[in-house]
Amino acid sequence: MAATRTQTRTFTFTRLELIKMQVSVALRRTTFISEDKLQQLLIGLNEKWIEEFSVYAFDHNNLCRAQLVLIMDWKEHTAQLNLGHDDVTINQKWENNTAIELDESIRLFNGYVNSESLWTEWRVTYTEAVRSNPALLDLVRRTLGTHAGDTITWAGKREGHDYVIPELSEMKVGCYIIP
């Protein structure tokens, strides 16, 4: 008689460490961001200055045709920490420590970018606390090496969804495209 044995490996990370890993994967796999700039931006996560990372895909007319977005809910993050949920345990379903939802969104986004011959650009959205305080906004921009971006013009009505990452309830990932 044959026996089947299943073995599950798990890995444990702090919540913030896992958030930073997801952002790093998304930016590395969808843009040509330098390692120095990425490390600089991760300071914004350490300080909880950034609530959203977006990668936009533009056509030759500079019209936006797709967006990959990662949204951090810092209130939910704090609530999870207050409940004692400092760490998150994941299993091998997270290939290369990447959330399934993020992996699929990147696959869809990159497939669309490649098939439509688009170019990408990353952007951040700061938290309300940063946006509403001009002195802090100036400090954050100098620290992270960012500046106000141009207004994005969409090529049409975008369609898509965003999903909460179940193991990391303070983070959503979304993918939107112009069909």
For residue range 67-110, what is the model confidence (pLDDT) as tens digits? Answer: 999 999 999 999 999 999 999 999 989 999 999 999 999 999 99
**pTM of the prediction?**
0.92
CA distance 86 to 82: 8
The domain spans of the chain are 10-177
Question: What pLDDT, on a 0 to 100 scale, did the predictor assign at position 108?
Answer: 97
Over 60: is that where the pLDDT of 6 sits? no
In the CATH hierarchy, which fold is given to the domain comprising 10-177?
Cell Cycle, Spindle Assembly Checkpoint Protein; Chain A (3.30.900)
Question: What pLDDT, on a 0 to 100 scale, did the predictor assign at position 9?
Answer: 84
Question: What pLDDT, on a 0 to 100 scale, did the predictor assign at position 2?
Answer: 64
Over 60: is that where the pLDDT of 55 sits? yes
Over 60: is that where the pLDDT of 120 sits? yes
